Chain A
């Protein structure tokens, strides 16, 4: 049977889709909906958040969420581009996967600095 490279982005897409499905609604609520209404102001303070993210287990979890999240979004955006009428798939694929790669490396970099 011919080997296909499709398994790699598909695995990343599926893993990212599952992780984001469980995590993103509540995570977005805490980071983006709560601050404007004055909720969780202590949790979202620099001192608390910095202390929380300093933990290596938390760093690993965040890398899992963001790392798989960007690859999931990249793969879906590639399909979206096609569906919205942009048919230059090879170029689109390079752009979205390159951005996902940069996003993953940037996440690792930022986490190592905390």
Chain B
């Protein structure tokens, strides 16, 4: 007796999520917030340049076209898809729609969300195309 046996944490504080597939997918959609934050920053900057004039706006577009920014944008696009899919997946848990005695099937609610996403995306693309 007498020997000190201090508690040693077995789980790493910084890489615990790599131990389980479910934790990995959780961290993947949580990490999407890094790219959402970066994109919001970029958009706010873009609005200021839009207000400033054509030259400032051209500089913003040039920044967007920089190869490094293009690579980050593609990674961000993938993360945004992850965010959208994980968010839609969780909707039936957050939004229960009752019709009479029964609840509407979760798959129907998710399907509705994807239909709305498709319609909205198509609308924006057409708007950008005809502008």
Contacts and interface: CB of A to CB of B under 8 A. Distances in A.
B48 A69 contact: no
Contact of A22 (B117, B127, B131): B117
A88 interface: no
Interface string A40-78: 101110111110110000000010001001101110110
**Size class of the A contact interface (CB-based, 8 Å):** 35 or more
B30 A76 contact: yes
B131 A85 contact: no
Nearest to B86: A21
B47 to A, nearest CB: 4
A80 B120 CA distance: 30
Interface of A: 14, 17-18, 20-36, 40, 42-44, 46-50, 52-53, 62, 66, 69-70, 72-74, 76-77, 79-80, 83-85, 87, 103, 106-107, 110-111, 113-114
A26 B131 contact: no
Nearest to B129: A40
Given A17-B87, A110-B51, A114-B50, A28 B77 contact: yes
B76 A32 contact: yes
Contacts of A85: 13-14
A22 B122 CA distance: 12
B48 A30 contact: no
A41 B86 CA distance: 32
Contacts of A47: 54
Interface string B35-68: 0110111111011101101100110010011000
Nearest to A65: B43
Interface string B14-42: 10010000000001001111101101111
Interface string B60-95: 010011000110011011001101100110000010
